[in-house]
Amino acid sequence: MQLLQSFIAQDIIAHGLSMGADFVDVFIEKTQNEGFVFKNSRAEDTQSGIVFGIGIRLIYGKQALYGYTNSTDREELLRITTLLGARIGKENKTVAPINFEKLVYPKIPTVIDREVDAKYKLSFLKKIDEQLRSDQKVSQVMLNYSRKNQHVEIYNSEGLIATEVRPYIRLFHQVVMKDGNLQTEASFGPGAIGGWEFMEGLDTNEICETLLKQANTTLYAAPCPAGKMPVVIDNAFGGVIFHEACGHLLETTSVEKKASVFWDKMGEKIAHSALSAVDDGTIAGSWGSLSIDDEGMPTQRTSLIENGILKRFIVDRLGETKTGHKRTGSGRRQSYKFAPASRMRNTFIEKGPHDLSDLILSVPNGLYAKKMGGGSVDPSTGQFNFSVQEAYLIKDGKITTPVKGATLIGTGPEVMTKISMVGKNLELMAGMCGSVSGSIPTTVGQPCIKVDEILVGGQA
Amino acid sequence: MKKIMERVMNNVSDLKADGDLILSTAKSLKMSSQNGSISEYKVSSSQILGVRIIKDGAVGISYTEALDDDSLKFMVKQALENAQANEPNPLEKILDISGAVSDEASYPESATDIKLKTQKALELESEVKARDPRVVAVPYNSYSENEYMSHYLSSKGRSTTYSDKIYSITSSALLDDKGKKANYYDYHIAHTFADLQWNKVVENSLFHARNILEEKALPTGKYHVRFSPDSLKSLIECFSNFYSAKSAMDKVNPWANNLGAQVISKDISIVDGPDYAQSFRISKFDSEGVLQKPLTIVGDGVLQSFLHNSVTANYFKTQTTGHASRGASSSLNVSGTHFLIQGKNQKPLPPKYMEVIQMDGLHSGANRVTGNFSVAVKGYLWENGQKTMTFGNITLSGNLMELLKNVEVVGDKVEASTDLSFFSVPLVFNELSIAGA
């Protein structure tokens, strides 16, 4: 299905070029959203909707002008183009007609095996709810199911037409546990590019057991001691530390403004030699994967750091123009309401040689962060902070007492040099990343790692 | 727009269902600069229509950004299907109020030339660079203007219209002094272009960034803490579930069973004030069309009321307080308007305390169910009335419930957050944990 008639896209692009733009692209999006919130053991919020709009971008040298509307009306789209072009005020010129050629690209395999109705989905959620409520201390269960079918169509002044349909599916589990005055919560949010078969494939028994175990542990955990100490961060969502402490600093959105501490470090050692990391958009079914980015470039696996040496940045079209680094198929955006920017996809630390037990054994006195929460970073200074959802003290090379309320803070360049051991147990985990072009699905990941020293915030 | 809404409402009525509609439209302009030229220029016009249908007691929601006939019919069909998938909820009904009310903004302003706007937008970068040679970049800078309009129509005959125009500016300063970096940003909002305080955002960004260059970690320990109004607002709003009847209904409000009990210091009161004189203008009615009025949430330390919409009011067998919130694409919730913290029994400032001006990581470092938080903070150490150092690279940990019990009022002049949505008398919180050097 075509979202915008080609001749209208052609007219917009020709109009932009005639106003002196060096490059013009048109991004059309139609997204169907569906969501259920299962709470208080019932479907509390069932909703669906259509997001539709068109974004127009004119690039003059290193300057980008962007406009968007919900209208497919040719005159309205030309009016917006005029408004953008008038900002620069170049003389009008004659433009040769553009012949579009549909981009043929390798599609990431996606299985959407069957559609199921709302009642079936709700009965699936009900079973999970019952399983989680098998522990009498559980006071609330919230299951947030969301499905998004994002259809994008991209035209540009280089004659490109590219389209992709991206089916996102996710189930966010949250359980609240109470015992007297003590309260805690645990959460888990697996997601994928795919259909209902992803939900059927979830090991719900294991998920429920893990969530209940985590909640039971943190409910009675002692406050975390504060101070600088070695920290072993376990796999999967532990990768949020690399995402925040380093990944954002490698996006040309920060690099081009010199607002990243790594902007002039290409080819230099920025991390411990034990560490290699990639940003890979091509992993089949993975939440952060794309066949093409939102600028119509086929996505790729980008090796960012190899044995501690900075090899590539994460680059979009404007980033390439401004920094000279080649595009990596990383131009991404939340929706047509945002101009594309360089953003991460599936970003992770690669496997190392160690078992988790090796890392724990090497720590006489420190913290084992089994499950990380979220975090944030200021790319310009590299300063970051993360919360830890489930943590234990390490004494004499052994995991001991559970603790709660731990936060890790530091700076990206510093912590990257202190990751001295990397494990074998690489796992990825879905998340949402917020930045200049909105909130997008990204995957974080890592095997377990050991950070030799980091500041742990806690109450004890 | 009114006709479109009436047509959709007729479709809802044809289904023998109740319902309400929210139509939001927006126009915006945004400019940012980099290296002396406008690097981002963004214009937009957008719209979204959402419907909530209540059929046989069950609720379904749908929305669309395309307003052609087919899309509108599809939206109503989807909302009906969603309602049919849900179990009936006897608590959720369209409020039986009618009549049209309007609250449309009108500001005395002459048209501002785009050239002047562009020049001022460029100055958000150039002025910062000109005032300190150590500025290596102005990573966050923007000028934006946004016009909003929102219409509400219910099947019971209630209709409301709200419109507003908001201008905002942001600037920042990234300083590099012999390899040590510091960044700070500030912003300002106003209803007219003429009221924007351009110099303030430039000066504040530079002032704090210069100080942060000198930051050092404080020794680990317990400290008295005073939050800037913006930091205190972030902290109080992060735990908005404490004041929400919806959260109490969902069993994620630790104060759920404490109505009538003393929950915080008896020297403190917390009031929700939609029409507080110094506040930034907001709509006079909530998302169910109910007129809003001031509400004391906590009076002299005693929890007096939660924020209610009609559903939570039905659940708790009380009246809505006019705090329903719902966007075109979302379900019914509750939210506050402007928060005002009042205090009595004023005490002198302690001889030594931390002033927190920046707090990072609250979105992930706070547990909304327990009230525990642990965040990275920056600010100034005050000793005997003098600012003696800038601190950073430390974490601050605590529990909101305990923090509000162990607080002292240290002044009577109300301070406002930058966005004029939060107001508080000066407070000092005792014995908070710091992890640092």
- C-alpha angle A108/A112/A114, rounded to 5°? 170
Task: Tell me, yes or no, whether B406 and B264 share the same domain.
Answer: yes
Task: Tell me, yes or no, whether B195 and B252 share the same domain.
Answer: no
Give the pLDDT confidence score for residue A373 in this predicted structure: 86
Chain-wide mean pLDDT for chain A? 93
Nearest to A161 by CA among A295, A65, A69: A295
Give the pLDDT confidence score for residue A61 in this predicted structure: 92
User: Does residue A90 sit in helix, strand or coil?
Assistant: coil
Domain boundary among B192, B212, B232: B212
Q: Centre a 10 Å sphere on the Cβ of residue A75 and count the other Cβ atoms it contains.
A: 7
A139-165 mean pLDDT:
96
Give the pLDDT confidence score for residue A238 in this predicted structure: 93
The reply to whether residue A227 touches residue B50, judged by beta carbons under 8 angstroms, is no
Task: Tell me, yes or no, whether B226 and B238 share the same domain.
Answer: yes
Question: What residues form DSSP beta bridges with A375?
Answer: A386
Task: Tell me, yes or no, whether B198 and B312 share the same domain.
Answer: no
Distance from CA of B414 to the nearest CA of A (A): 30
Q: Residue B160 in contact with residue B290, Cβ under 8 Å?
A: no
Give the pLDDT confidence score for residue A111 in this predicted structure: 62
A99 pLDDT band (50/70/90 cuts)? confident
Residues on chain B touching A226 (C-beta within 8 angstroms) = 220, 395, 397, 433-435
Give the pLDDT confidence score for residue B55 in this predicted structure: 96
Q: Which residue has the higher pLDDT, A78 or A384?
A: A78
Condensed to tens digits (0 to 9), the pLDDT of residues A411-452 reads 988 999 999 999 999 999 999 999 999 999 999 999 999 999
Domain boundary among B195, B212, B229: B212
Cα gap B62→B328, rounded to integer Å: 8
Instruction: For residue B142, give its domain range.
Output: 2-212
The residues of chain B scoring below 50 in pLDDT are: none
Distance from CA of B410 to the nearest CA of A (A): 25
Give the pLDDT confidence score for residue A104 in this predicted structure: 86
The reply to whether residue A407 touches residue B397, judged by beta carbons under 8 angstroms, is yes
Percent of chain A scoring above 70 in pLDDT: 98
Nearest to A231 by CA among A415, A1, A8: A415
Condensed to tens digits (0 to 9), the pLDDT of residues A203-215 reads 999 999 999 999 9
A439 touches chain B (CB under 8 A): no
B207 touches chain A (CB under 8 A): no
Cα gap B67→A72, rounded to integer Å: 11
Q: How is residue B236 written in tokens?
A: 């109080």
Task: Tell me, yes or no, whether B188 and B233 share the same domain.
Answer: no
Terminal CA-to-CA distance of chain B, rounded, Å?
60
Residues on chain B touching A47 (C-beta within 8 angstroms) = 60-63, 82, 329-331
Give the pLDDT confidence score for residue A106 in this predicted structure: 83
Nearest to A43 by CA among A162, A124, A137: A124
Domain boundary among B212, B246, B276: B212
Task: Tell me, yes or no, whether B164 and B297 share the same domain.
Answer: no
Distance from CA of A271 to the nearest CA of B (A): 18
Query: Which CATH number goes with the domain that contains B30?
Result: 3.30.2290.10
A191 pLDDT band (50/70/90 cuts)? very high
Nearest to A158 by CA among A83, A79, A103: A103
Cα gap A345→A108, rounded to integer Å: 14
Task: Tell me, yes or no, whether B430 and B319 share the same domain.
Answer: yes
Residues on chain A touching B252 (C-beta within 8 angstroms) = 140, 176, 185
Task: Tell me, yes or no, whether B313 and B227 share the same domain.
Answer: yes
Q: Centre a 10 Å sphere on the Cβ of residue A309 and count the other Cβ atoms it contains.
A: 16
Condensed to tens digits (0 to 9), the pLDDT of residues B186-244 reads 999 999 999 999 999 999 999 999 999 999 999 989 999 999 999 999 999 999 999 99
Give the pLDDT confidence score for residue A460 in this predicted structure: 57
Residues on chain A touching B256 (C-beta within 8 angstroms) = none
Cα gap A377→B197, rounded to integer Å: 28
Relative to beta strand B58-64, strand A42-60 is parallel
Residues on chain A touching B395 (C-beta within 8 angstroms) = 226, 385, 407, 409, 455-458
What is the tally of structural domains in chain B? 2
Give the pLDDT confidence score for residue A16 in this predicted structure: 97
CB pairs < 8 Å spanning A and B: 237
B183 touches chain A (CB under 8 A): yes
The reply to whether residue A67 touches residue B42, judged by beta carbons under 8 angstroms, is yes
